[in-house]
Amino acid sequence: MLGRNWIAGWTLVRIVFGVMLCAAHGIPKAMGDLTPFIQRVGSLGFPMPTFFAWCAVLTEVVGGILIALGLFTRPVAAFASFTMIVAAYRHQADPFSAMEKPLLFLTVFVALILGGAGPWSLDAKVRRKA
C-alpha cells in the first residue's frame, strides 16, 4: 500500500506537469499564429505538417488537462511522450539546455504510462465504480 505522502507527491507532479503542458505550451500555440510551428513540423520531415502540428497542439492542450485531472492518463501520456520525443529531436543540435525541458516532460509522461495516475485521480474513481 502506498503512503499518503507518496500519493500526494505523485498527484502534485501529475497536476503540475499537466497544467504546465497545457498552459505554458499548448494554449500559447493554439491562441497564436500556428504558421511558424507548422513550418517547423514540416522541416522535421513530417508529411501533412498542418495535421501533425494540430495533433501536437491538441495533445498539449487537451492532454494537459486530462493528465492534470488524471483521466485517460496512460493513453494521453503516450501521445504526450511522442510529442516530447519529437521536441527533443527538434532540439538535438541546440545546447543541452534546450533539450532538457522535453526530456524532463518525457520522463514524467513515461512514468505516468508505467505507474498510472495514482489513487487520487479520475481514472481511479472510474475504476472503483466499474
Q: Which residue has the cell 495533433?
A: 55
Q: Which residues contact residue 97 at a Cβ distance below 8 angstroms, ignoring those fewer than 6 apart?
A: none
Q: Do 64 and 21 form a contact (C-beta atoms < 8 A)?
A: yes
Q: pTM of the predicted model, to two decimals?
A: 0.93
Q: Which class for 30: exposed (0-12), middle (13-18), buried (19 or more C-beta within 10 A)? A: middle
Which structural domain, as residue segments, surrounds residue 80?
A: 4-129
Number of compact structural domains in the chain: 1
Cα radius of gyration rounded to whole Å, the chain: 16
pLDDT at 54 over 80: yes
Among candidates 4, 115, 3, which has minimal Cα distance to 70?
115
Percent of the chain with pLDDT over 70: 98
pLDDT at 105 over 90: yes
